[in-house]
Structure 1
Amino acid sequence: MNTYLIKNTCIVSDNAKIFGDVLIKDKKIEKIGSSIQLKSRALEIDGNNQFLLPGCIDDQVHFREPGLTHKATIYTEAKAAIAGGITSFMEMPNTSPPAFTQELLENKYDIASQTSLANYSFFMGTGNDNLEEVLRTNDKRHEVCGIKIFMGSSTGNLLVDNPLVLDKIFGGSELLIATHCEEESIIKANFQQLKAAKGVLEPADHPIIRNEEACFESSFKAIQLAKKHNARLHVLHISTARELQLFGNMLPLEDKRITAEVCVHHLHFTSDDYARLGNQIKCNPAIKAPNNKVALWEALLDSRLDVIATDHAPHTWDEKNEPYEKAHAGLPLVQHSLPLMLMYVEQGKITIEKVVEKMSQNVAICFGIKDRGFIREGYKADLVLVNMNQPYTVSKENILYKCGWSPLEGTTMPASITHTFVNGHLVYENGRFDETVKGERLLF
């Protein structure tokens, strides 16, 4: 493992910016200071006019392996994540077969240990019939990021709608419970009503079918269960203004038992974009009317929303170009989420310190990730150098997702990721990868 010295850079961590040097040695941040001098040799990197950020931690991705590898693999999507400044990810259980047993869960860890350039963790999947297996995950609470419950149907058949099972999971899990919240009965009623009225549905109907009420009722139900059992609940991809009344910002994040995530596509797109992008932005929960985007930004900045993630969910171009009812829901984002948020930094909508807080620091705090998410001496050297004066345009030629497309094609990002370190290994440098070292399993 090489020793690196990043010189003369703007270090962003702990809600502050400082100028100085960072020494990386033996996988960790050895020293932070000004004008660090070494007696031994180190590979120097000039960080002048760049920002050094802790690597982003994405708490919600779908990398499709095993079983759906025509869409993506852990290798391809982790590589795209690295190029986008994401150094750690937590992957969802709706693969084929779904991660419904401890054996299937560990199989995913085995694949990642051999192929992932980023650090990794995987959620245990829940169904109506695997309660015993789910609760066995308590024995791995320091090695598994959490339990995932689909309280609304999405890609894969993982809907949990048995009230008794839900109650027992919330009552028995010692791990964080992450929920996809959409009320299935409301979605079905909306679909049937709209289908009867129109006959042929289109992408713009998606937020009408999967509407604000469906999200609110399901999130409310999850929060009531969490309060009943004092469970640790993390509600994923909040997409509506109405849901925001369910979350508070009076407690420090460390003391919150109920936290919330927002995804980059709900901060960037609105229902107005269906006319231009159609099924490309079909996802669950749906991208909704512009007033929701405005409210999400307000809640992000006042800390009712705690973390930013992607819900990266790649599908092939053919799968997205089916008629609306058959088109798969989800969009690929891990390569472009940090650059997209840096675009909003340039526009003055959010500070770079706040981006680091929401995409790195708070994720580490929410999940209790050991020694990551901050630039601190003794922490793992998961680091990203960003050049805010090096714009690039998203195109098929520079997209690394296996699916080969992005709804952001044609968007000019104001900043480029120039270097990405994972556990002190320089895995990405100006478009080139060093794949000789793989990422590590996250610990909690």
Structure 2
Amino acid sequence: MKPKIILIKNAHIVNDGAIFNGDILIEGEYIKEVSDSISAKSSDVHVIDAEGKYLLPGAIDDQVHFREPGLTQKATIESESKAAIAGGITSFIEMPNTYPQTTTIDKLEEKFDIASKTSSANYSFMFGGTNDNLEEILKVDAHNVAGLKLFLGSSTGNMLVDDTAVLEKIFKSTKLLISVHCEDEATIKKNFEEYLDKFGDDIPIKYHPLIRSQEACYLSSSKAIKLAEKTGARLHVFHLSTGKETKLFSNKIPLKDKKITAEVCIHHLWFSDKDYDKKGTLIKWNPAVKTEEDREKLWEALLDDRIDVIATDHAPHTLEEKSNVYTKAPSGGPLVQHALPAMLEMHHKGKISIEKIVEKMCHNPAILFQVEKRGYIKEGYFADLVLVDLNNPWTVNKDNILYKCGWSPFEGTTFRSRITHTFVNGSLVYQNSKFIDVKAAKRLTFNRS
């Protein structure tokens, strides 16, 4: 069968720290040519005139919760991956705290099987660590699995790894990249009991960042980093939320050489504790959204490269669940559809360059996880591409939200930038708010020795 050929012309191509005007030729799944000008050499070529739109590599989201299996009333791999490609995210890495948990090889492969049949975006999964599954961890193939996820706080089921000896043994034994959720459980429990005694179940949401405090985050992050330094493990700290934690990370060496890296999420860059009065439990996350000062310090660390990656921690719950009182309202919210538009809005506000957005959402996740042939616009790479119109405003509302849960913390927000086209493995899967060929996704592979 002859491979399909697509020619994208007249785009502002954003790649590797530069923006240049040019054309892209896609043949089959791959980028065949990147040049100032490419001519269609036959009538079989499908030409798309970008008309000066910006062409970005597809974003790689290194932390999502798509809730399948077991929690499909909130989301499915099918529903959330479609929302992702509408938001310019062409690859995702999903977390292990589903039901059942992804803590055995059999359960991991069951999730890969679901994704192979239903995902619209390229996919991989984290394997979950517990206090008693080291034998299973050692079976994981590092070429075919994104990495290992450890909950050092705020876990579900039995996934809290709180046995110090076990934790050190895992760090010493695995060559997998270890991603961690860092909040100190003892500190949180003490704070929670104090506010529960004072208010009962209906604790005002504004106290969430005091319960899940800066101290809880820093204590856990610093311990994880010390253990990584002691054992030589490759450590990636998820969703930093405090300014104090940013001091634990370095920008003195290139990302490819770092053994300890960090991520920040959209909500911690956008919201602050001043938004709790308006948004309530809709912006209840773990770790909590904290102060304006914390948010500013996170931006500083992101821009000076102490923080390496921007992700979503997409974690949908039903609106009914989120509408409960504090103690019964779950933490987490949906973000994959709106993450890239939110960052482009920050570009419009002068906060970050488009080149830096691409670095943190496309290039760096590919480098950090050693994803094969993705994250860049390069000849020979998979054609995961996103066309963006920077001047095509739209407002988030119930009618255009694609998450299965049907709500967004960005409802009512007007974004000036719009994703107009998304390509996954060379297939045009999304164009002008319509899904086209949504079965082009592939399992991510990893270039690791």
Q: TM-score scaled to structure 2, two decimals?
A: 0.97
Aligned counterparts of 1:75 and 1:375: Cα–Cα separation in 2: 26
1:179 partner letter: V
1:185 partner letter: A
CA contact (8 A) 1:64 1:72 kept: yes
Residue 189 of structure 1: aligned partner: 190
1:55 partner letter: G
1:111 partner letter: I
CA contact (8 A) 2:427 2:440 kept: no
Residue 37 of structure 2: aligned partner: 35
Q: Which runs of 5+ in 1 are unaligned?
A: none
CA contact (8 A) 2:180 2:237 kept: yes
Aligned counterparts of 1:157 and 1:435: Cα–Cα separation in 2: 39
Which of 105, 114, 119 does residue 116 from structure 1 map onto? Answer: 119
Which secondary structure does the structure 1 equivalent of 2:382 belong to? Answer: coil
Identity %: 58
Aligned counterparts of 1:86 and 1:413: Cα–Cα separation in 2: 17
Aligned counterparts of 2:381 and 2:406: Cα–Cα separation in 1: 35
Count of residue correspondences: 442
1:116 partner letter: S
Aligned counterparts of 1:266 and 1:132: Cα–Cα separation in 2: 36
1:86 matched to 2:89: yes
Aligned counterparts of 1:130 and 1:437: Cα–Cα separation in 2: 34
CA contact (8 A) 2:371 2:445 kept: yes
Aligned CA distance change for structure 1 residues 221 and 55 (closer, same or farther; 3 Å): same
Superposed CA RMSD in Å reads 0.9
Residue 160 of structure 1: aligned partner: 161
Residue 180 of structure 1: aligned partner: 181
Larger deviation, residues 192-201 vs 265-274: 192-201
Which of 304, 309, 312 does residue 310 from structure 1 map onto? Answer: 312
Aligned counterparts of 1:86 and 1:232: Cα–Cα separation in 2: 25
Shift of residue 71, structure 1, vs aligned partner: 0.3
Shift of residue 135, structure 1, vs aligned partner: 1.8
Shift of residue 176, structure 1, vs aligned partner: 0.3
Which secondary structure does the structure 1 equivalent of 2:240 belong to? Answer: coil
Residue 269 of structure 1: aligned partner: 271
Residue 216 of structure 2: aligned partner: 214
Residue 341 of structure 1: aligned partner: 343
Residue 152 of structure 2: aligned partner: 151
Residue 75 of structure 1: aligned partner: 78
1:204 partner letter: K
Residue 95 of structure 1: aligned partner: 98
1:146 partner letter: G
1:135 matched to 2:172: no
Shift of residue 48, structure 1, vs aligned partner: 1.6
Shift of residue 192, structure 1, vs aligned partner: 1.2
Which secondary structure does the structure 2 equivalent of 1:236 belong to? Answer: strand
Q: 1:393-432, aligned counterparts within 5 Å?
A: 393-432=395-434
Shift of residue 129, structure 1, vs aligned partner: 1.7
CA contact (8 A) 2:40 2:47 kept: no
2:67 partner letter: R
Q: 1:364-403, aligned counterparts within 5 Å?
A: 364-403=366-405
Aligned counterparts of 2:155 and 2:440: Cα–Cα separation in 1: 31
Aligned counterparts of 1:271 and 1:253: Cα–Cα separation in 2: 31
Which of 236, 239, 247 does residue 238 from structure 2 map onto? Answer: 236
CA contact (8 A) 1:14 1:357 kept: yes
CA contact (8 A) 1:135 1:169 kept: no
Q: Which runs of 5+ in 2 are unaligned?
A: none
CA contact (8 A) 1:87 1:382 kept: yes
Shift of residue 196, structure 1, vs aligned partner: 2.1
Shift of residue 38, structure 1, vs aligned partner: 3.0
